[in-house]
Chains A and B, each alone.
Chain A
Amino acid sequence: MLIKLTGGQVYDPASGVDGQIQDIYIQDGRIVDMPVGDFKIDKEYDLHGKVVMSGAIDMHTHIGGGKGNIARTLLPEDHRQDPVSRSDITRSGCGHAMPSTFVTGYRYAEMGYTAGFEPAVLPINARQAHMEMGDIPILDKGGYVMLGSDDYLLRMLTAKKDQKAINDYVAWTMNAAKAIGVKVVNPGGINAFKFNQRKLDLDEQNAHYGVTPRDILEVLATAVKELGVKHPLHVHGCNLGVPGNVQTTLDTIQGIGGLPMHLTHIQFHSYGTEGDMKFSSGAAQIAEAVNNNKNITIDVGQVLFGQTVTASGDSMRQHYNHKFASPNKWVVMDIECDAGCGVVPFKYKDQNFVNALQWAIGLETFLLVNDPWRIFLTTDHPNGAPFTSYPHLIRLLMDRSFRNEVLSTIHPEAQKMTTLASITREYTLQEIAIMTRAGAAKLIGLKDRGGLSAGNWADITVYTDNTNRQTMFEKPDYMFKDGELVVVDGKVVHTKWGTTHVVQPDFDPSVETGLKDYFDRYLTMKLGNFKISDDEITEDGRGSITVHPLNGVA
């Protein structure tokens, strides 16, 4: 089957194509060069006047794992506002803040997304994360495994184990949990909360282990680099949401000493203490630090107004945040000497000073960071807002007059505390394509995804150009996943199953000696039963595993 997409205006930053008219050929699920000699086109799509990009990739979205399912269970009243009926080809479910798995897949696809990555896979809960993601149709998926508050790593640090031993443990965990990256959440803080510490600054010691967040960041960032894992250490820093945390974030950037590091939902970590309300924007300082430190990448975690639910591994900070729960119900858990979680519903209000300024801080960050290859479009779904708000966010970035219009409606004191009105930048289509496609694929280390040159998998989204960018990005004309047409006019017309992206860094098998002893003595599961086997993902005939290359490895 040879498919031709004819005459579209192509935005493919991976190949340096910026809005040129190009034809694209698809065969056996992949993009191919125009065949030579005589050939027959089986199906042609006339894309004159249309905008063509590769399928979008959400590099940080909470779509799989226990805390998401707690969030679902907690909010039946939210689901009731957005029931989703079944059709002959799609399953029923619910939407809004934390949609059901099937609806997650459909709604991402209907916005032109073809992949989503769960950023907080607890090793002990990885099985659940993969099972939930296994029920998300159409999308490819993957996970970053969470380390840094697990007692095993902290014991290693206290025992002064060398970096090689830590690398082996990290690589073993990535294999066991089927991950493509490593995440650290409030480094050591989730653990410290179990010892009743309620805050943990970058250089503050864990009461039991004497280890600091800085120590943890250093060994984990080093491990990720030395193992050749392409996705830099994915960091949810200390002091999430705390006024004044901009200094912590700047110290974190300086402290990592040039190692690759991704700072996630940085908006929640960019707060100063100026002004009458002792809450101010640190976005300019953060943007300057990001601009000056090429080893740093960020995603924003934009806040958008409305009801949502926050689901995080950061039990320490979420316990504090329960004071702001709306509706007032929340869950905090300590989990298996491994990590924890906190689920707190939030209603962000444009007439609330703090919420309004959070909104502005996120947008300032987007607009003040120069290099679109090092900043990514996220709401930290569902924490800042549900992922379904991305088209609105894209319009805010691409349309200054619309942005200023919204700005003029938010809490007046917040308007005074942001420089947003003076920022003239408008994102281009190419920059959006970088943030949501080529850059994301490069950051995660996905081979043959995120681009439209021959050899890439045919994940392709086609939009009708529209000056109202929200309308444009809400409803693609077509979306192809692995060469199959799955969306037409913003509606799913066909479903399929995506793959699970992983890396498999090497480790010294002797690492299991120490781990087995630890599991037998202290944990509640045998080591052999902890590791996730390939067939757990593939045995139902729907899932598959795609292994991506490491740096320095062919």
Chain B
Amino acid sequence: MTEITEVPSPFCGVGTDDLKIQVDGVTLKVLENGCAVNTPAFEQAITDTQPRVDGQIVSLDVAVAKAVALLKNTALPVIGGCATDVNGMRGLLALADRCGAVVDNMNFTRARNNFLALQDSGWMNTTLAEVKNRCDLFVVIGADLEVVVPRFFERYIWNAESMFIEHTDQREVVYLGTAPSGSASTSPSGKAAQVLPCATEDLPDVVAVLRALVKDKPIRAESVAGINVADLQVLADKLKAAKYSVITWAAGALTYRHAELTVQTVSEMIKDINNQNTRCSGLPLAGKEGDLTANQVCGWTTGYPARTRFSRGYPEYDPFMNDTNVLIAEGEADALVWVQAFNSKSVPPVTELPTIVVGRSGMTFSKEPDVFIPVGTPGIDHVGHAYRTDNVVAIRLKKLRDSGLPSTADVLNAIDKVLREETVC
């Protein structure tokens, strides 16, 4: 039995790396600094250790051969999920390039709210250490932050020491839209966050008014979506008076059509504030189950985020057309590869298409895939790299135990190798 300290987590999105984990054979127990997201993700037991073809246990070689047979003569295979580490994505993209597949990260429809805003007008953003040391006003738009990242406030807002904020307790927290479900955002001395509540789908109106107020545009209405304009005026004034305000949102929580316009309004408002002689930055929240990792690696490999097809021999990005669910529903896809090394509950969409699953041990399927290859989890069964929410910092994931499970990269590289042997020369 050993204890490993300073364990980084690929699960919580903020790259928490102070976990202490006890390792007993292949059994893990989080001893210190766990949370509702990380502890179960680390402690989940290994169940499957062997690949299956048509529900029968087979060797890895046989499973790889079957996967190759299913992929070999496809016209438009789709590789969905894309939830793995950097090396896993490298292997995934090499395979996709070879077989002319579509690569589609499973969280892309949510992330698209950010990408469309970024690719249309850009933004000014910051990272976690800047929040921890510089942020004097923290505004949360449309997200129940502590459910998404349980330790966010503890680590980055109510941190005991900060280089440039004398008493972190004095920081102001404002929620716009969704109210917090717990008390993580209440300061250590008991000051609760200010909440300006509205329905999520009313956020476009609310942020539009807020931006107008920041720009000193007259607003005739007295309230918007149940929020007094006077209260929004106070928030606008605070944003302009703060030295280093930070505005955060979770693209996935903005569950209405064209939410990218909300992200854009917020991002443009942040630029406006920076043109009024003070600083303000955005902090988009993401980074779960390798979504940022998928987009980063796909970004440097193809130039585009992870909703890109290789069917014409070169990468083509389309944030709408290359959606796994659309391609399956419209009958364009002719095979599905599902890659999900982090979350065994995240299973592929049920389809009649030939299906290959490269997934975390413990997946249960309502319809057994043609091929299932259980793989190790990055940061538990093998070393790796993952991006955290600020999309700048890549964390080095540790290997905690010897499970004998192959990595995603091992499996995808093996499929790619056999496919090459069978298709080239």
- CB pair B133–A335 under 8 Å, yes or no, is no
Asked whether B296 is an interface residue with its Cβ less than 8 Å from the other chain, the reply is: yes
Within 8 A of A (CB), among B71-105: 86-87, 90, 94, 97-98
Q: CA of A539 to CA of B378 in the docked complex: distance in angstroms? A: 14
Asked whether B249 is an interface residue with its Cβ less than 8 Å from the other chain, the reply is: no
Asked whether B153 is an interface residue with its Cβ less than 8 Å from the other chain, the reply is: no
Contact of A100 among B18, B127, B295, B301 (CB under 8 A): B301
Asked whether B37 is an interface residue with its Cβ less than 8 Å from the other chain, the reply is: no
B212 CB, nearest partner CB in chain A, Å: 21
DSSP majority for the A interface? mixed
Q: CA of A306 to CA of B376 in the docked complex: distance in angstroms? A: 47
Contact of A69 among B123, B127, B296, B424 (CB under 8 A): B296
- CB pair A533–B396 under 8 Å, yes or no, is yes
Nearest A residue to B162 via CB reads A522
- CB pair B303–A524 under 8 Å, yes or no, is no
- CB pair A135–B90 under 8 Å, yes or no, is yes
Q: CA of A336 to CA of B126 in the docked complex: distance in angstroms? A: 8
B142 CB, nearest partner CB in chain A, Å: 22
A202 CB, nearest partner CB in chain B, Å: 23
Q: CA of A26 to CA of B100 in the docked complex: distance in angstroms? A: 39
- CB pair A83–B315 under 8 Å, yes or no, is yes
Give the interface segment out of A4-12, A47-55, A121-129, A469-477: A121-129
- Contact mask A22-49 → B, CB, 8 Å, 1/0? 0000000000000000000000000000
- CB pair A333–B122 under 8 Å, yes or no, is no
Asked whether A94 is an interface residue with its Cβ less than 8 Å from the other chain, the reply is: yes
Q: CA of A69 to CA of B279 in the docked complex: distance in angstroms? A: 24
- CB pair A331–B118 under 8 Å, yes or no, is yes
- Give the chain B neighbours of A540 by CB distance below 8 A: 87, 90, 409
- CB pair A333–B127 under 8 Å, yes or no, is yes
- CB pair A334–B281 under 8 Å, yes or no, is yes
Bin chain B's interface residue count. 35 or more
Q: CA of A125 to CA of B385 in the docked complex: distance in angstroms? A: 12
- CB pair A329–B394 under 8 Å, yes or no, is no
Asked whether A255 is an interface residue with its Cβ less than 8 Å from the other chain, the reply is: no
User: How many A residues, CB 8 Å from partner?
Assistant: 67
- Give the chain A neighbours of B299 by CB distance below 8 A: 69, 72-73
Asked whether B120 is an interface residue with its Cβ less than 8 Å from the other chain, the reply is: yes
- Give the chain B neighbours of A125 by CB distance below 8 A: 392-394
- CB pair B130–A337 under 8 Å, yes or no, is yes
- Give the chain A neighbours of B18 by CB distance below 8 A: 526
Within 8 A of A (CB), among B115-165: 115, 118-130, 132-134, 155-156, 160-164
Known: A151-B163, A333-B126. A91 touches B303 (CB 8 A): no
Q: CA of A93 to CA of B303 in the docked complex: distance in angstroms? A: 7
- Contact mask A502-537 → B, CB, 8 Å, 1/0? 000000000000000000011111101100110110
Asked whether A424 is an interface residue with its Cβ less than 8 Å from the other chain, the reply is: no
Asked whether A491 is an interface residue with its Cβ less than 8 Å from the other chain, the reply is: no
- CB pair B278–A333 under 8 Å, yes or no, is no
- Give the chain A neighbours of B160 by CB distance below 8 A: 521
Asked whether A86 is an interface residue with its Cβ less than 8 Å from the other chain, the reply is: yes
- Contact mask B12-44 → A, CB, 8 Å, 1/0? 001101100000000000000000000000000
- CB pair A92–B130 under 8 Å, yes or no, is no
Known: A86-B314, A194-B134. A334 touches B126 (CB 8 A): yes
Asked whether A85 is an interface residue with its Cβ less than 8 Å from the other chain, the reply is: yes
A308 CB, nearest partner CB in chain B, Å: 14
Contact of B129 among A86, A343, A524 (CB under 8 A): A524
- Contact mask B381-394 → A, CB, 8 Å, 1/0? 00101000011111
B240 CB, nearest partner CB in chain A, Å: 12
- CB pair A335–B130 under 8 Å, yes or no, is yes
Q: CA of A196 to CA of B278 in the docked complex: distance in angstroms? A: 6
Nearest B residue to A531 via CB reads B396
- CB pair B393–A336 under 8 Å, yes or no, is yes
- Give the chain A neighbours of B204 by CB distance below 8 A: none
- CB pair A74–B396 under 8 Å, yes or no, is no
- CB pair A100–B303 under 8 Å, yes or no, is yes
Q: CA of A85 to CA of B100 in the docked complex: distance in angstroms? A: 11
- CB pair B424–A132 under 8 Å, yes or no, is no
Nearest B residue to A103 via CB reads B303
Asked whether B313 is an interface residue with its Cβ less than 8 Å from the other chain, the reply is: yes
- CB pair B129–A92 under 8 Å, yes or no, is no
Known: A73-B115, A194-B244, A329-B121. A79 touches B17 (CB 8 A): no
Q: CA of A524 to CA of B134 in the docked complex: distance in angstroms? A: 13
- CB pair B315–A92 under 8 Å, yes or no, is yes
Asked whether A76 is an interface residue with its Cβ less than 8 Å from the other chain, the reply is: yes
- Give the chain A neighbours of B175 by CB distance below 8 A: none
Q: CA of A101 to CA of B312 in the docked complex: distance in angstroms? A: 19
- CB pair A335–B127 under 8 Å, yes or no, is yes
- CB pair A100–B300 under 8 Å, yes or no, is yes
A527 CB, nearest partner CB in chain B, Å: 9
- CB pair A529–B395 under 8 Å, yes or no, is yes
- Give the chain B neighbours of A432 by CB distance below 8 A: none
Known: A72-B303, A86-B313, A124-B392. A524 touches B97 (CB 8 A): no
Within 8 A of A (CB), among B394-409: 394-396, 409
- CB pair A334–B127 under 8 Å, yes or no, is yes
- Give the chain B neighbours of A102 by CB distance below 8 A: 301
Q: CA of A194 to CA of B129 in the docked complex: distance in angstroms? A: 12
- CB pair B118–A73 under 8 Å, yes or no, is yes
Known: A92-B315, A98-B303. A336 touches B128 (CB 8 A): yes
B149 CB, nearest partner CB in chain A, Å: 12
Nearest A residue to B6 via CB reads A526
- Give the chain A neighbours of B129 by CB distance below 8 A: 124, 336-338, 522-524
Q: CA of A484 to CA of B143 in the docked complex: distance in angstroms? A: 55
Asked whether A162 is an interface residue with its Cβ less than 8 Å from the other chain, the reply is: no
Asked whether A289 is an interface residue with its Cβ less than 8 Å from the other chain, the reply is: no
Known: A79-B303, A528-B6, A540-B87. A196 touches B279 (CB 8 A): yes
B137 CB, nearest partner CB in chain A, Å: 14
Q: CA of A535 to CA of B125 in the docked complex: distance in angstroms? A: 32
- CB pair A334–B130 under 8 Å, yes or no, is yes
Asked whether B186 is an interface residue with its Cβ less than 8 Å from the other chain, the reply is: no
Nearest B residue to A536 via CB reads B396
Known: A525-B17, A526-B17. A93 touches B301 (CB 8 A): yes
- Give the chain B neighbours of A208 by CB distance below 8 A: 164
Q: CA of A80 to CA of B316 in the docked complex: distance in angstroms? A: 8
Asked whether B274 is an interface residue with its Cβ less than 8 Å from the other chain, the reply is: yes
- CB pair A128–B394 under 8 Å, yes or no, is yes
Within 8 A of A (CB), among B208-264: 243-244
Within 8 A of A (CB), among B265-308: 274, 277-279, 281, 295-297, 299-305
Asked whether B51 is an interface residue with its Cβ less than 8 Å from the other chain, the reply is: no
B332 CB, nearest partner CB in chain A, Å: 20
Asked whether B11 is an interface residue with its Cβ less than 8 Å from the other chain, the reply is: no
Asked whether B310 is an interface residue with its Cβ less than 8 Å from the other chain, the reply is: yes
- Give the chain B neighbours of A329 by CB distance below 8 A: 118-122
- Give the chain A neighbours of B313 by CB distance below 8 A: 85-86, 92
Contact of A319 among B86, B274, B296 (CB under 8 A): B274
- Give the chain B neighbours of A343 by CB distance below 8 A: 122
A147 CB, nearest partner CB in chain B, Å: 16
- Give the chain B neighbours of A68 by CB distance below 8 A: 300
Given A331-B123, A529-B396, 8 other A-B residues pairs in contact with their CB atoms under 8 A: A73-B115, A74-B119, A125-B392, A127-B394, A331-B118, A331-B122, A524-B14, A540-B409
Q: Which A residues have a C-beta under 8 Å from some C-beta of B?
A: 66, 68-69, 72-76, 79-80, 83-86, 88, 91-94, 98-102, 122, 124-125, 127-128, 131-132, 135, 151, 155, 193-196, 208, 319, 325, 328-338, 343, 521-526, 528-529, 532-533, 535-536, 539-540
Closest 7 CB pairs of A and B: A94-B303, A83-B314, A79-B303, A85-B313, A329-B122, A336-B129, A330-B122
A-B residue pairs in contact (CB < 8 Å), sample of 29: A66-B391, A72-B300, A73-B115, A73-B118, A74-B122, A76-B304, A83-B314, A91-B94, A91-B301, A92-B313, A92-B314, A93-B315, A94-B304, A122-B392, A125-B394, A127-B394, A128-B296, A128-B392, A128-B394, A132-B300, A330-B122, A334-B281, A335-B392, A521-B160, A522-B161, A524-B15, A525-B395, A528-B6, A536-B396
